[in-house]
Amino acid sequence: MTCFIVEGGYALEGSVEVKGAKNSMLPIMAAAILNSDKREIELENIPDIGDMHMKKKILQSLGLQVSYASNVLHLDSRELCSHTISAALMKEMRSSIIIMGPMLARLGKVRVTYPGGCSIGPRPIDLHLKGLEALGARIWEEKGFIVASTPGLRGAEIHLDYPSVGATENLLMAAVLARGNTVVHNAAREPEIVDLQNFLNAMGAQVRGAGTETLRIKGVEALGSCRYRIIPDRIVAGTYLMAGAITGGRVTVRGIIPSHLDAVVAKMQEAGVVLEVGEDSLSVLNGRLKAVGTLRTLPYPGFPTDLQSPMMALLTRAGGRSNIVESVFEARFKHVEELKRMNARISVEGRTALVEGCAVLKGAVVSATDLRAGAALVLAGLAAEGTTIVKEIRHIDRGYEYLDLTMQKLGAHIIRSGEEQPAQAGQQNVAWNVADVPSHPA
Ligand code: EPZ
């Protein structure tokens, strides 16, 4: 069993170059299905993470040629031949459902199973299916599969009940090849939606309004290839900033778009963290942590749900009581029990967690329940007395590129122990026991 072994008590120092955003890369990889010209698509700034390799497998199972090397993906969809994604592959990742839109647009048919709900809630897809039906898809269930088919998509006016990121992406990728115009009201406004719009327009689509709650799409006949650079990952950036803050260190994240983290910076400053904003960087300097009244996760531009658990870890070290309200997902407090094993004082009432700050965190054996919860447990381990073992780190490898090696470069005492290493292109095997990790006294 692979795990991270973390020895706490060392302040992190240094800078991290942040790669492309997982949640931008995944829909854009799916959008490559829409390319019907002879040349391949080239995507740059692609992190070497588990979800990218999984999505690559899914697209290859449909007949695309996909290759990855040195943070660049090449995707060739000329041989697109199958419209069915196996249940085994669908189970592996939730975002596989955003294949439906481009498949209906390109092939007029797609068969998928309900995506695995991970431990943050049931992850329904009713908004996806309702929107695709409005665009002219017929959708039914058959032997455990969801089947969608259309003689040809047509533009429609769609009102999303909730600004769902995935539903917005699916409908956007369906509407670009629909006959006529489509308007999506109450669309998600995340930077990843803007990135998808820009990518689709680089392929020849006509999309406007991304970043606002109203998307306007003018259907076109066909889309072609392009070379595109993915935006940096605001959630990975926020995670490293919080790692710097929880250890009382000084960490800079580079290659980012600071404005994507406005709500995160504001909340960290409210918690006493001193931050410096650069052109394409953010730096955490020293600061005395203090409780925040209420932290409420919201759709963008509110505080992102994906940084709720790392922020909770940080607030366990802040003097005073903080209320964290998780308003996006139904069940995103699974990390609370794990943090409590480390002596954190947290109580949960429905969607609100009350964090009693300033507990002395103690090393323990804990398990990552999802990718962001796993990151939060590593942050808590960095600040804890003694050694923490974080299990189920496959969740973490899905969205953080070489988290252990990156943290080691910042002076963290963290190593990966166990048999399988993630696909670390060009990475040498590092000494895998705590005794060998160089000591950086805080
Ligand atoms: C995307 O998930 C991200 N995943 C999530 O990141 C992120 O937390 C989430 O958006 C919110 O920002 C990817 O982009 C791959 P939603 P998604 O549809 O699209 C409800 C991470 O850690 N809903 O905006 O699944 C749903 O239940 C991951 O990187 C419906 O009710 O999020 C949830 O309560 C975790 N019906 C809320 O909307 C639907 O049809 C937000 O979901 C769809 C969603």
Predicted local confidence at residue 427, as pLDDT = 38
402's CB contacts (< 8 A; 6+ apart) are 48, 422, 424, 427
Give the per-residue pLDDT at 437: 40
- The CA distance from 241 to 277, in Å, is 12
Residue 12 CA to residue 293 CA, distance in Å, equals 27
Question: How far apart (Å, rounded) are the C-alpha atoms in residues 373 and 186?
Answer: 29
CA 274 to chain centre: 25
Which ranges of the chain have pLDDT less than 70? 94, 116-118, 419-442
In this structure, the residues whose C-beta lies within 6 A of any atom of ligand 1 are 22-23, 26, 94-95, 121, 123-128, 162, 164-167, 305-306, 328-330, 371-372, 399
Ligand 1 centroid distance, CA of 94 (Å): 9
Cα(196) to ligand 1 centroid in Å equals 16
Among the atoms of ligand 1, which is closest to the Cα of residue 329?
A: 34
Point out the ligand 1 atom lying closest to the alpha carbon of residue 122. 27
Length of the chain, please?
A: 442
CA–CA distance, 181 with 440 (Å, rounded to integer): 59
Name the β-bridge partners of 181.
Answer: 218
Closest residue by CA, ligand 1 atom 38: 164
- Greatest CA span in the chain, whole angstroms? 66
Query: Mind listing the pLDDT tens digit for each residue in 40-99?
Result: 999 999 999 999 999 999 999 999 999 999 999 999 999 999 999 988 888 887 678 899
Give the residue among 303, 326, 305, 324 at the shortest CA–CA distance from 315: 324
Residue 358 annotated to the active site: no
pLDDT in tens, 362-417: 999 999 999 999 999 999 999 999 999 999 999 999 999 999 999 999 999 999 99
Residue 144 falls in which region: left (phi positive, over 0), alpha (psi -120 to 50) or beta: left
Q: How much of the chain exceeds pLDDT 90, in percent?
A: 87
Atom of ligand 1 nearest to the CA of 127: 40
**In whole angstroms, what is the distance from residue 377 CA to residue 309 CA?**
9
pTM over 0.75: yes
CB 217 within 8 A of CB 412: no
pLDDT digits (tens, 9 = 90+) for 331-344: 999 999 999 999 99
DSSP letters along 245-278, please? HHTT-EEEEES--GGGGHHHHHHHHHTT-EEEE-
Mutating to test ligand 1, I would choose from 97, 119, 127, 162 the residue with most ligand atoms within 8 A of its C-beta, which is 162
pLDDT of residue 432: 38
